[in-house]
Amino acid sequence: MHIVKRRGWEIAESQVTAEHLVVNRRSVLSGAAGLGTIGLGMMAAGGSALAQGASPAAASPGAVARNPKFEAGRALTDEKFATTYNNYYEFGESKNVWREAQKLKQRPWAIQIDGMVKQARTIDIDDLLKQVQVEERVYRHRCVEAWAMTVPWMGFPLSQLVALAEPLSAAKYLVFETAQDKATMKGLASPFYSWPYVEGLAIDEAMNDLAFLSTGLYGKPLQGQNGGPIRLTVPWKYGFKGAKSLARITFTDKRPKTFWEGLQSREYGFWANVNPAVSHPRWSQSRERLLGDDEMVPTQIYNGYGDFVAGLYTDRKSEKLFM
């Protein structure tokens, strides 16, 4: 296919839809069909004062404080782009799934915590939120398709959940599983994919300061399209690692086969750390397109978070760390 030869920033808006063009040509078609409605969607979503960069703490008293440790280094993406241009294959293969994804019922919501833990259990999201310290962090997000955004997440460090889970010392990995709601997630009917969406982290990655469970965005509860009520956010890795709408977190001593790895292991690996020097078979990763003004900017190793995470990989040099 001719598209295969293009580099990331040359791919037309209508074609960047597919994480996996080679596997599934239908993505190209659905992406093209969706394009016409993206603009409308953005208008319907409207803007907000928070999207302009005002901190929620300033906007509404009692809101959570922004952690100053994580500097964005570039302007916040306008909220309307982050909430109307999404990847969420359970709801379809186009970027324009936000209306459908908003139908996901977020309460009641339970998260199963199991595997190699002291005591397996199911915890209600609101009970969980009472046991953690919620804060706001502005993170850069980098999709492997070479688009990027900069957004304020609300949530809590993943290490706090690990502490609550009390993993056994033999546990080496965390497995994250997305909910499967057949009533709203039309994509689950597609035979191309093996659901549920599964992602994973090594336990030392999960304990890293940057690893975050997001429950809000722009000072509001996380909407379905962004992975509400709770999603993984690991900004030094490509966006597909950030599994949405989590239903289950399992501790294990075996590295899981992730959703995209299972589909196309040549293109998507377990570690998936951002690196401008390691091209994806179909996309150069040297630059990225900022949602909003479509400005092209250079991509940074570990998405610019090397000071936090590079040490995780010094003893893993023999692994495919960047794909």
Ligand X SMILES: Nc1nc2c(c(=O)[nH]1)N[C@H]1C(S)=C(S)[C@@H](COP(=O)(O)O)O[C@H]1N2
Question: Rounded to an integer, what distance in angstroms lies between the CA atom of residue 15 and that of residue 5?
Answer: 13
Tokens encoding 167: 């993993």
Residue 86: contacted member of ligand X, Mo ion, none (CB under 5 to 8 Å, by partner type) = ligand X
Going residue by residue from 240 to 259, which x/- string records binding to ligand X, judged by CB under 6 A?
x-xxx---------------
Strands 121-124 and 173-178: unpaired
| Candidate segments 83-91, 116-124, 167-175, 281-289, binder of ligand X by CB under 6 A | 83-91
Element (H, E) at 36: helix 26-45
Total binding residues for ligand X by CB under 6 A?
Answer: 16
Q: What is the DSSP string of 239-288?
A: GGGS--SEEEEEEESSPPPPHHHHH-TTT--SS-B--TTS--SSS--SEE
Residue 90: contacted member of ligand X, Mo ion, none (CB under 5 to 8 Å, by partner type) = ligand X
Beta bridge partners of 31: none
Q: What is the DSSP string of 66-100?
A: B-TTS---SPPPPHHHHTTS---GGG-SSS--HHH
CB of 232 to ligand X, least distance (A): 8
| Candidate segments 30-38, 60-68, 124-132, 238-246, binder of Mo ion by CB under 5 A | 238-246
19 makes contact with ligand X (CB under 6 A): yes
Window 79 to 108, contacts with Mo ion (CB under 5 A): 87
Question: Rounded to an integer, what distance in angstroms lies between the CA atom of residue 63 and that of residue 66?
Answer: 9
Decide whether 66 or 140 has the Cβ nearer to ligand X. Answer: 140
CB of 134 to Mo ion, least distance (A): 25
CB of 178 to ligand X, least distance (A): 4
89 makes contact with ligand X (CB under 6 A): yes
Decide whether 87 or 225 has the Cβ nearer to Mo ion. Answer: 87
Contact 142, 209 (CB under 8 A): no
Contact 79, 56 (CB under 8 A): no
**Which residue has the closest beta carbon to Mo ion?**
143
One residue of 70, 156, 197, 240 binding Mo ion per CB under 5 A: 240
143 makes contact with Mo ion (CB under 5 A): yes
84 makes contact with ligand X (CB under 6 A): no
**Which residue has the closest beta carbon to ligand X?**
239
Q: Is residue 160 helix, strand or coil? A: helix
Q: Which of 280, 272, 281 is nearest to 303 (CA)?
A: 272
| Backbone φ and ψ of 252, nearest 5° | -150, 165
C-alpha to C-alpha distances, 84 to 41, 154, 185, 320, nearest whole angstrom: 6, 18, 17, 33
Window 213 to 242, contacts with ligand X (CB under 6 A): 226-227, 239-240, 242
81 makes contact with ligand X (CB under 6 A): no
| Candidate segments 33-41, 44-52, 87-95, 311-319, binder of ligand X by CB under 6 A | 87-95
Would you tell me which residues interact with ligand X (CB under 6 A)? 19, 86-90, 143, 178, 197, 226-227, 239-240, 242-244
Would you tell me which residues interact with Mo ion (CB under 5 A)? 87, 143, 239-240
